[in-house]
Amino acid sequence: MGEFGIIIQVLISGILFGTMYGVAAIGLSLIFGTMRIIFFAQGTMIIFFAYICYWLFTLIGIDPYLSLILLIPISLLLGMGFYYGLFKEAAALEQKEVSLLIAIGLMWAVENIMTRVWTADPRAIVTAYTSWILRPFGINIPFTRLIALLIAVLSAIGVSLFLKRTRIGTAVRAASEDMESTTLMGINPHWVNAVTFAIGIGLAGIAGVGLATVYSFDPMYGFTFVIMSVIALALGGMGNVFGALLGGIILGLIYNLTAYFIDSTWANAICFVVFLLVLMFRPQGLFGGAAQKV
């Protein structure tokens, strides 16, 4: 494999790497749309579900992909529970710092509970197919990463269909455009918020399985993850499901290319600089049409 082959390899793994951020960014985008907060605990929730997936695999022996059947309903319910249990009062307030701080408190608590239960050592799921590698045209594509990409694309399609085709999905879209008018139309804001939370945490469950099968993870990885997802969100534009996924992929490409050509610490800085430039000059995201109300 020559220089060109290596670059193709870097690009491919960037795309596969970025989809995980994309899925997390879709969740962030939905919650941001209705609640107007960055849900900082998203990354930590992903790690939490990765650990649950890890436990299901090591203790009971359930295949990680099969555990999705169990994890998706659990995470949807957990999301709804979070909203009604923690955020309901704060969502009605004018000060958004309050909701933001509850999210940070949740992140802090869950992170430390995970450190207590599973220790700070990195864990990984090793199954029979972890080491499978597909080699189309001489490019190495690990099987688990391909499945992660597939799951990400499928969940993006699912969320997008839900938002476009169902009544409550339409309500969520309306609420993220103008919460006040939506409430005046007789839509219960708490129900809309609860549904977005459920989907957001549900996506965290899906991303958790994807992550658990591909990478090793530790409790403190969640914050890094959520920051990268925020960048993916800004690249894709707020309130745009496929934009968020594409934003994640672009971020993965930028990261991998700079990490390959320069250095991985600088790659972080370059991601943030790109993030700042996009925020300043294209706040509607790279794929957004008209400028959004800020």
Partner 1 sequence: MAKYPFNILKSLIPTKITQNQINIYIIIAVIIGFATVPFFIDVDTSYFAYYLFLTFLFIVIAQGWNIVAGYAGQISLCQNSFFGLGAYTTGLIWLYDVTKTGYYFDPVVMLLSGLVPVILAIIVGIPLLSRLRGDYFALGTLGVQFTVTVLMLKGGAFTRGADGLHLPSVAFESMLPYYWVGLLLALFAVAVVYFINRSNIGLALKAIREDETSAASRGVHVLQYKVFAFAVGASLTGIAGSLYGIYLFHINPDSVMNLNWLFFPILMCVLGGNGTIMGPIIGAFALAALLSYGDVYLLETHPILSGLIIILVMKFMPTGIIGLKDKILSRR
* Residue of 17, 21, 32, 51 interacting with partner 1 (CB under 8 A): 32
Helix (H) / strand (E) containing 142: strand 141-142
One residue of 70, 98, 174, 286 binding partner 1 per CB under 8 A: 98
The answer to whether 220 contacts partner 1 (rule: CB under 8 A) is no
CA neighbor of 227 nearest in space, from 201, 203, 202, 255: 255
Nearer to partner 1, 221 or 275 (CB): 275
Binding mask 228-267 for partner 1 (x = CB under 8 A): --xx--x----------------------------x-xx-
**Residue nearer to partner 1 on the CB measure, 102 or 245:** 102
Query: From the list 283, 286, 287, 288, which residue makes contact with partner 1 (rule: CB under 8 A)?
Result: 283
Please say whether the beta carbons of 39 and 28 come within 8 A. Answer: yes
* Shortest distance (Å) from residue 284 CB to partner 1: 11
Least spacing, CB of residue 273 vs partner 1, in Å? 6
Helix ranges restricted to H, the chain? 3-35, 42-55, 68-82, 88-91, 96-118, 143-165, 167-177, 179-184, 189-214, 221-236, 241-261, 264-281
Instruction: Please report whether residue 227 would count as binding partner 1 according to CB under 8 A.
Output: yes
Question: Residues 232, 6: contact at Cβ < 8 Å?
Answer: no
Told to check if 223 binds partner 1 by CB under 8 A, we report yes
Rounded distance between C-alpha atoms, residue 270 and residue 228, angstroms: 12
Site for partner 1 (CB under 8 A): which residue of 1, 66, 113, 154? 113
Task: Measure the CA–CA gap between 279 and 285, rounded to whole angstroms.
Answer: 8
Q: Does 194 bind partner 1 (CB under 8 A)?
A: no
Instruction: Kindly tell me which of 97 and 178 has the beta carbon lying closer to partner 1.
Output: 97
Nearer to partner 1, 169 or 283 (CB): 283
The single residue among 109, 126, 157, 185 that binds partner 1, judged by CB under 8 A, is 109
For position 108 contacting partner 1 by CB under 8 A, the verdict is yes
Tell me the DSSP string of 8-74: HHHHHHHHHHHHHHHHHHHHHHHHHHHH-S--TTHHHHHHHHHHHHHHIIIII---TTTTHHHHHHH
259-271: buried (b, 16+ CB within 10 Å) or exposed (e) per residue? bbeeeeeebbebb
| Closest C-alpha to 197, from 99, 82, 294 | 82
Tell me the number of residues near partner 1 by CB under 8 A.
45
Q: What residue ranges bind partner 1 (CB under 8 A)?
A: 32, 36-38, 86, 89-90, 93, 95-102, 104-113, 116, 223, 227, 230-231, 234, 263, 265-266, 268-269, 272-273, 275-276, 279-280, 283, 294
